Amino acid sequence: MPLSERFFGALDYAARLHAAQTRKGSGVPYVAHLLAVAALVIESGGDEDESIAALLHDAVEDQGGTATAAEIRRRFGDRVAEIVEGCSDTDVIPKPPWRPRKEAHLAHLRVASPSVLLVCAADKLHNARSILDEYRRQGDALWVRFKGGRDGTLWYYGASLAVLKERSANGLVEELERVVAELQAVAGGAGP
């Protein structure tokens, strides 16, 4: 699939929105995550709207809430905005409490579109890979970065995997299953 100027415009917009943001505790510029998620979507056969949504999937919840959602809709259209909104666990600032927000997001995924599921699977896979990699280097000290701590984070990735397996059988979900199983094994966590 050739990418148009819309994709490159979204890349620029996403990079600027997240310019001051880094990955939790690592110092890695946040745009690295956005690029990785977009790459996974593209490699999995996603179309340009899904690829653009992958670049913007955290913009609403991390960079401006409903105002950012409206700007994404204006710049990139309804379909991209709907995918981004479907991947967002909140558009409220400040964010609501962690566990109820994650539970509501999981409930939404149970009825989400295939496009939302594709982008969410790519996001969860890249996040889970990053967590596993960091856990291997830092051990249990890693969990202080996460609002859910060790138990909540392991629960959330296990529960996300369960929903994605029910709704979307693809290579991303299969790889997510392997990574989550390994993370649960090395971090001493139980399944969902």
- What domains are defined for the chain? 5-187 (1.10.3210.10)
What is the pLDDT at residue 175?
97
What is the pLDDT at residue 104?
95
> At 191, is the pLDDT very low, low, confident or very high (cuts 50, 70, 90)?
very low
Instruction: Assess whether 61 carries a catalytic annotation.
Output: yes
What is the pLDDT at residue 192?
45
Instruction: Assess whether 49 carries a catalytic annotation.
Output: no
Q: Which of 48, 49, 58, 61 is catalytic?
A: 61
Query: Is 190's pLDDT higher than 70?
Result: no
- Its pTM stands at 0.94
Q: Which of 62, 91, 177, 182 is catalytic?
A: 62
Task: Please choose, from the candidates 129, 107, 112, 111, the residue with its C-alpha nearest in 3D space to the C-alpha of residue 37.
Answer: 129
For residue 8, give Cα distances in angstroms to 3, 13, 76, 90, 125.
8, 9, 11, 26, 23
What is the pLDDT at residue 186?
94
What is the pLDDT at residue 189?
57
18-42 residue pLDDT tens: 999 888 878 899 999 999 999 999 9
Euclidean distance between CA atoms 22 and 11, whole angstroms: 16
Going by the DSSP 8-state scheme, the letter that residue 45 receives in this structure is: T
Give the mean pLDDT of 94-114: 95
> At 93, is the pLDDT very low, low, confident or very high (cuts 50, 70, 90)?
confident
At which residue do the structure tokens 């379909």 appear? 79
